[in-house]
Amino acid sequence: MSVNENTLPFIPFTRPHFNQETIDAVADVLRSGWVTSGPKLAEFESELSSYFGGRPVRCFANGTATMKIALQIAGIGSGDEVITTPISWVATSNVILGVGATPVFVDIDPVTRNIDLNKIAAAITSKTRAIMPVYLAGLPVDMDQLYSLAKQYKLRVIEDAAQAFGSQWKGQKIGSIGDLVSFSFQANKNLSTVEGGCLVLNTLDEARLAEKLRLQGLTRQGMDGMDVDVLGGKDNLTDVNAVIGLQQLKQLPTFQTRRAALARQYFDAIRTGLKVMNLDNLELELPVENFTDSNWHMFQIVLPLEQITIDRAQLMTELKDLGIGTGVHYPIITGFTLYQKLGYDTADTPIAHHIGRSILTLPLFPGMADKDIDRIANALLGILKKYLKS
């Protein structure tokens, strides 16, 4: 490593952005004396409802809670099956297990890396109650095909749109259409409340049930008392988190524009680098080049492990030594010990198995400089060229 490389600032794979206005707004909430769920939460939910075309929206402490409660609202429980993808954060399938149901993993499309909708019908049984697609890196599935399947087989759809806030389908915001739609506001998301999430619902009855499920099943009955009529948990979002979300909503268009611009630069820099370094035959799988529907939550490549003599972990270490952070999103869920013990086999979804051991997330966040993209692309391709099989 050169002296110059040693002095370059470290580029993490993501970094949240909170401006001074956000910091001041948080301070105002702290000074107000009302820091748990209160007026700012109500305002945030109202703004989100407007964003999603007037649909009811309720917020929760995290994106895992939103999916769990969506399953409960849909009536999913013991003996039921839910079809989902094996390439996601494990929370997607954990919540299915958590309500007593069984995840059924369907292999993914090698290009979009989302669940292969053409393979879902073959996985449907008499126990199937819902489909839970995941929009990896913010890219939605074909919504027309998804809901056609759901209608044909009379299934609920719980969209794990954790990474897709701001994404669209044919000009319509993800969340403004569909059935139950779950978003995460965790620190690395396009819109962050540090921790949190929201669920877009169909009716006010579903919204009222969501309110009870997020706060111990509590039903308020005027000034005289209260009641608990369902088993709920403690999954409410605080006003501190909500006011951050309100400020992030204002900045979202700027964030989105910058992310798309950085993604375009990645395509240009990587393709140019492949030619300059005589790596035209390198089977480097780039993301779907979609600038209409994707929110560019992440920029992920699939490493050509069959063509190089370095594994993913070593490549990530070498990039880190060059001051570049990366991530893995995600290892295949059925490879985890818990799921192996439950009888799942990675061989049942071979495309997901390949992607799960080869995918690599490169840095992408609005605060990046243009020059960062060239630096990352050159470093990545330089390492691949160094370890290219003869």
Burial class (CB in 10 A: 0-12, 13-18, 19+), 316: buried
Q: Do 268 and 213 have their domain in common? A: no
Residue 390, pLDDT score: 80
pTM: 0.95
Instruction: Take residue 80 and report the two structure tokens written for it.
Output: 């039921």
Q: Is residue 10 part of a domain?
A: no
Co-location of 270 and 348 in the same domain: yes
Picking from 246, 281, 315, the residue at the C-terminal end of a domain is 246
Pair 149, 39 in one domain: yes
The total of structural domains in the chain comes to 2
Question: Any residues with CB less than 8 A from the CB of 8 and at least 6 apart, and which?
Answer: 322, 323, 375
CA 270 to chain centre: 24
Q: Give the residue from 213, 246, 279 where a domain finishes.
A: 246
Same domain, 205 and 292: no
Enzyme catalytic residues:
189
Q: Which residues contact 30 (CB under 8 A, 6 or more apart)?
A: 240
**Do 184 and 39 belong to one domain?**
yes
The predicted structure's pLDDT at residue 220:
76
Contact 291, 268 (CB under 8 A): no
For residue 320, tell me if it sits in a domain. Answer: yes
Tokens of 235: 């999954």
Residue 361 and residue 238 share a domain = no
Do 216 and 287 fall into the same domain?
A: no
CATH number, domain at 334? 3.90.1150.10
313 lies in the same domain as 369: yes
State which residues form the domain around 354.
252-386
Kindly state the DSSP code that residue 376 receives in the 8-state scheme. Answer: H
User: Averaged in consecutive runs of 10 residues, what is the pLDDT profile of the chain (390 residues)?
Assistant: 66 96 98 95 98 98 98 98 98 98 98 98 98 98 98 98 98 98 98 98 98 92 79 97 98 98 98 96 96 97 97 98 98 98 98 98 98 98 96
* Degrees, nearest 5: CA angle 126-128-131: 155
CATH code (residue 167): 3.40.640.10
Choosing from 226, 246, 266, the residue where a domain stops is 246
Q: Quick one: 290 and 366 in the same domain?
A: yes
176 and 108, same domain (yes or no)? yes
CB 180 within 8 A of CB 159: yes
Tokens 């909430």 belong to residue:
29
Question: Are 82 and 142 in the same domain?
Answer: yes
